[in-house]
Amino acid sequence: MAQRVAITRNADLLVRDPTELDSAPKRAWGASRPRELQEVLTSLGDVLLADSVPLMAKFNAAKIIGMLDKSGPILAEPSGMPGNRLTELAKTALSTVCNQSPAHRSLVIALLAVFGRLDWYKGKYGPFGSVNFEENHQHALLVGPGALEHRTDLRIGLTVLAPYTRFPDHHQNHSRVFLPLTFGEFRFGDDDWIYSSNGEVLFNPAGRQCAIRCTAKPLVTLWCHIEGHAG
């Protein structure tokens, strides 16, 4: 087990430590966005901009979707990272999401198609995290610094939690939109826990605390924010 580092609630634990990217092997970048990634982003836009999405979530999502009209450098080769227990848990959980709208089904199918290209990483431990948090979670960036599409103006991430895992409580520096694709529980600031249904779009303004947990089934959630919109 990796050694735990003392982290306070003031750390945004969804954001990858930039020192990890500085020490990562150099990558080859291409110019054109691959069809598989474009299908993810198109389907994500359809879900986040639906009529039923709450106003502030839709407002922030619309800005992100608009920024995606211009693509960034694209990772020219798959990450080559082998699948693991959490990846397989996520694939199984996503494959059961069959009772959603056509937009949700399209998003899940597109997301599964890019799993083999994602670079998975671990976050840091923090307050109220599960005892076995390190081995029961992982993140990947689809769009963002060092991601499948490299850019520094926004991030679109994917987080997987194994069953009965609580993500450490943490401070979020950016206004963030969440799209849980499986059942999960979220709490923002001092509000009550939100028992999210599959595909429910959630929003947490910048500067608030965030807590995430799941019970008997794994949680797979997408999240996105604009860089520089902190505080």
| pLDDT digit string, tens, across residues 128-152 | 889 889 999 999 999 999 899 999 9
Residue with tokens 């693991």: 84
Which CATH code for domain 31-230? 2.60.120.10
Pairing of strands 149-150, 137-144: parallel
CA 42 to CA 137: how far, in whole Å?
27
pLDDT at 65 over 90: yes
- Structure tokens belonging to residue 8: 């306070």
Of 152, 121, 167, the C-alpha closest to 229 is 152
pLDDT at 24 over 80: no
Report the mean per-residue pLDDT for the chain. 86
pTM flag (> 0.85): yes
What is the structure's pLDDT at 6? 43
Q: What pLDDT, in 10s, does the model give residues 150-180?
A: 999 999 999 999 999 999 998 999 999 999 9
Q: Give kind and range of the element (H or E) at residue 35.
A: helix 35-48
What is the structure's pLDDT at 81? 61
pLDDT at 191 over 80: yes
Mean pLDDT of 95-123: 85
